[in-house]
Structure 1
Amino acid sequence: MNIWILNHYAHPPDLPGGTRHYDLAQELVKRGHRVVIFASSFHHYLHREVRLQPAEVWRIEDVNGVKFVWIRTPSYQHNDRYRVQNMIAFAFHVWQLGRRLPKIAPEIKNPDVVIGSSPHLLTPLAAYAIARRYRVPFVMEVRDLWPQTIIDMGELSAQHLITKALQLLERFLYHRAERIITLLPWAHEYITACGVPRGKIVWIPNGVDLSRFASVADSHDSDEVFKVMYLGAHGQANALDVVLQAAQIVQNQGYSQIKFILIGDGPEKPKLKKLATELELKNVEFRDPVPKDKIPEALQEANVFIFNLEKAEVFKYGVSSNKLFDYLAASKPVIFSVRSSNNPVEEAYCGLTVPPRDPQALAHAVMTLSQMPKEEREAMGRRGREYVEKYHAIPVLAEKLVRCIEDTR
């Protein structure tokens, strides 16, 4: 099959960010399929052009057998109107290019199916238009429940005209899609409430390419420094101010051997650095984001990971975060601080769970794990690794994707 995937924020592993579609595409290529990923060449976290030369508007790049079509879009630095312009530009240009690409680039064949991935809804809309152009099935992938997530995070009112327009578009796309892929385990409850038949909805969560961890040497626990790591986006939803407040409690309790390491970038990072200074934290280190293929090496430095999200209603449909499965693949305990309908850490018995927005509970969990015998922490890490091998390895998820696509034909 010729499979086209439209994902505004798709990345190959040499860049920071999620590689869900690249990882799945690589597995599909191994099985004889041809996959083309359309993505913006402006990097959301690095805030710069990463793939195109100044004179280029678009370009095809082969990354280990997976074709990326990079599309130039306007730059932005914050979640403001310039980012909205970037979204609109990507959707328009990918639609313009997609409907004629096989004619001007013979190595790209007509699609047999077109997948449009959120979070924002303009990319699935462009995918729907392209699918209609080639008279092939349109599959919508829902990575975030927009606009509900925006409402729950307090960024837009439920009564705002933009919200109403997004809800109309959301329902339009749900009903036009042959299949709807959700990453969240209980998102079907939200989508069926929009009048969509349950049989159209398929759950394919995020996963991890375990081969990236195969050559990484495991670091042994140090008796001198106990490292608590967060690696991921520094956005509003990540509630990292709570981690800093927990670090202050740990510091005030005299646990000088515990160090917090925050790796990544995002709109909240300047505020977080300022807060760390105000709290006079000596036990927190901020680091730049790392490419996806360097994450396994970075994770091995930690003793414990924190998976932390804002206390928001939208997480009642579950969570499926790339970073969580990377954590589990690294065979280290995880502190899970989310109010969600699913809890992989609890299911796998591979860490501790604390309520969100509770720095005291988070600090207590960190101190508890630091005092726990090393053998117990290692056992937790092994159980987490076994869990992702069984349920979130890329070949397992690719098989689900193939079945989903075949059901549309």
Structure 2
Amino acid sequence: MNIWLVNHYAIHPSVPGGSRHYSLAKELVKKGHKVTIIASNFQHGVGKYNAELPMGRKYKEEFLDGIRFLWIDTPPYEGNTIRRLFNMFVFSWRLRFNNYFAGDNEKPDVIIGSSPHPFAALSAARLADKYKIPFVVEIRDLWPQSLIDLGRISKYHPFIILLAWLEKYLYRKAERIIVLLPGAAQYIRDLGIKEEKVVWIPNGIDTDLFPNMDLNKKADGKFTVMYAGAHGLANNLEIILYAAQKLQEEGFEDRIIFRLIGEGPEKHNLQMLAEKLNLKNVIFKDPIPKNEIHYNLSKADAFLMILKKSSVFRWGVSPNKLFDYFIMAKPIIWAVEAFNDPVKEAGAGVSIPPEDPVALAEAVKELFYMKPEERLEMGLKGREYVLKNYDFKFLASRLENVLLELVEK
């Protein structure tokens, strides 16, 4: 098959961020398929460019690990402002109306258009119409529901009404709907879409990016509790700071530290709050490329999976960072109220209510006082669980079967 995958925010693991589509594409290439990933050249969240474009060109073609990447030039932005929205429209417009693919004599057999925002997926659907081939939509975040529940925007706002219309259009247009959230099929069914169109392919772990390590190796120095991921509104990381404040007041300042790795629109506010609270036990670090993150994760004694309490998570969550945590064989503190609780299911850590810094501080102390072999046992359960259920090799095979069925028809 010749597969085109449109994801505005796709990256190569040599830069920070989630590399889901790289990992899926790599496995599909191993199976003998051709894969093109079409993405913006401007890297979301970090504010950098993925590739240097040739002079006067609005795109660049690169072949990385057997995958064809097509980087489309889009304007820069910071935070969730009107400039980010403009960036979305420019990407979608150039994807749809510029002839970047003129040199590709082999037309695709199937096109996948991935969210979160629907405009790129809409352009992918139009490309599928142009080539008269199947269109598959992938829903990573439930837009506009996430904006309503997390951004507290009225469902009657004109922009939300537009997004809702586009959402239903894409669901009806697509021959298959790939979802990452385990309960999303119910959400889509409630919109009047046939549930048999929905296929669950969650995020997972790319074992090629995580070399074999000594799982008995202890973190150096203080007991380190680590968070690695986006610093955004939904992540609710201020709870970590208030838990750190409580532990500092209880005299754990020299024994327990929190290390936050990543970037996002809330990072500056979090750093200001940490300074205001005079925290000596919190360290902020810059984001790290996916293919280098394992070295930093190995320094942790425990990991944090935290999300803001919101009804949007009633259909589940599938965060990239969670699977990276699992593979490191360290216990995880799960502070999420959602359809699913993989940490509890795996027996790989401690589950607590979200938005409760006291409960978080107590959970950290619980793990701190455990014997190292007890924490390792928890961690090994998580590692076994993720390798059995969420290896991208298995997930890519599931995706391959879905696409082959459509193409053969």
1:195-210 matches, within 5 Å, as 195-210=192-207
Corresponding residue SS for 2:102: helix
State yes or no: 1:361 paired with 2:362: no
SS at match of 1:276: helix
Q: Which residue of 2 aligns with 1:65?
A: 66
Deviation at 1:337, TM superposition (A): 0.5
Match of 2:211 among 214, 217, 226: 214
**2:6, 2:121 within 8 Å by CA — same for their partners in 1?**
yes
User: What does residue 79 of structure 1 align with?
Assistant: 80
- CA shift, 1:241, in A, is 0.4
**For residues 93-242 of structure 1, what are the structure 2 equivalents within 5 Å?**
93-97=94-98, 100-106=99-105, 109-218=106-215, 220-222=217-219, 224-242=221-239
Confirm whether residue 5 of structure 1 aligns to residue 2 of structure 2.
Answer: no
Letter of the 2:102 counterpart: K
Cα distance in 1 between the residues matched to 2:18 and 2:96: 23
- Asked if 1 retains the 8 angstrom alpha-carbon contact of 2:232 and 2:264, the reply is yes
Q: Deviation per CA, 1:41-74: give whole Å up to 9, x if none.
A: 1011221223123623101100110000000001
Equivalent position of 2:37 in the other structure: 37
Question: How big is the shift at 1:219?
Answer: 6.7
Number of positions where the alignment pairs a residue of Structure 1 with one of Structure 2: 405
How many angstroms apart in 1 are the aligned matches of 2:239 and 2:383?
27
Q: CA deviation at 1:123?
A: 1.0
Q: For residue 380 of structure 1, what is the aligned residue in structure 2?
A: 378
Once residues 298 and 385 of structure 2 are traced to their aligned partners in structure 1, the CA distance between those partners, rounded to angstroms, is 18
**Distance apart, 1:404 and its partner CA:** 1.3
Structure 1 residue 306: deviation in Å?
A: 0.1
Amino acid at match of 1:311: K
SS in structure 2 at match of 1:347: helix
- 8 Å contact 1:263–1:286 — kept in the other structure? yes
Superposition pairs of residues 237-316 of structure 1, within 5 angstroms = 237-255=234-252, 256-316=254-314
Please say if residues 328 and 384 of structure 1, whose CA atoms lie closer than 8 Å, have aligned partners that are also in contact. yes
C-alpha distance in structure 1 between counterparts of 2:391 and 2:42, whole Å:
29
**Could you tell me how far 1:119 is from its partner in structure 2?**
0.3
Q: What secondary structure, in the 3-state scheme, does the structure 1 residue paired with 2:138 have?
A: strand
Q: 2: CA distance between counterparts of 1:200 and 1:142?
A: 13
Change in CA separation of 1:103 and 1:53 when aligned onto 2, cut-off 3 Å: closer
- Secondary structure at 1:104's aligned position in 2? coil
- Aligned 8 A contact 2:54 2:60 in 1: no
Q: Distance in 1 between matches of 2:215 and 2:16?
A: 22
CA distance in 2, matches of 1:257, 1:318: 35
The percent identity for this pair of structures is: 47
Give the structure 1 partner of residue 348 of structure 2: 350
- 1:366: how far off? 0.5
> What does 1:44-55 correspond to in 2, within 5 Å?
44-53=44-53, 55=55
Q: 1:211: Cα distance to partner?
A: 2.2
**Structure 1 CA distance, aligned partners of 2:298 and 2:52?**
33
Quick check: 1:36–1:69 contact (8 Å CA) kept in 2?
yes
Q: Distance in 2 between matches of 1:316 and 1:394?
A: 25
User: Is the 1:16–1:45 contact (alpha carbons within 8 Å) kept by the matching residues of 2?
Assistant: no
Alignment correspondent of 1:335: 333
CA RMSD of aligned residues (A): 1.2
* Residue pair 1:305, 1:332 contacting (<8 A) in 2 also: yes
Cα separation, 2, equivalents of 1:386 and 1:218 = 13
SS of match in other structure, 1:38: strand
For residues 60 and 217 of structure 1, the distance between their equivalents in structure 2, rounded to whole angstroms, comes to 39
When normalised by structure 2's length, the TM-score is 0.97
Partner of 2:142, secondary structure, is coil
Comparing 209-218 and 326-335, the one that deviates more: 209-218
Partner Cα distance (1:121, 1:224) in 2: 46
Quote the Cα distance in structure 2 between the aligned partners of 1:318 and 1:151: 16
**By how many angstroms is 1:297 displaced?**
1.1
How far, CA to CA, are the matches of 1:330 and 1:223 in structure 2?
16
- CA distances 1:242-294 after superposition (whole Å, capped 9, x unpaired): 11111111111111210100000000000000000011100000000000101
Whole-Å Cα distance in 1 between the matches of residues 53 and 395 of structure 2?
A: 35
Render the CA deviation track for 1:93-145: whole Å, top value 9, x for unaligned: 11124xx4443245xx2110000000000011011000000000000000000
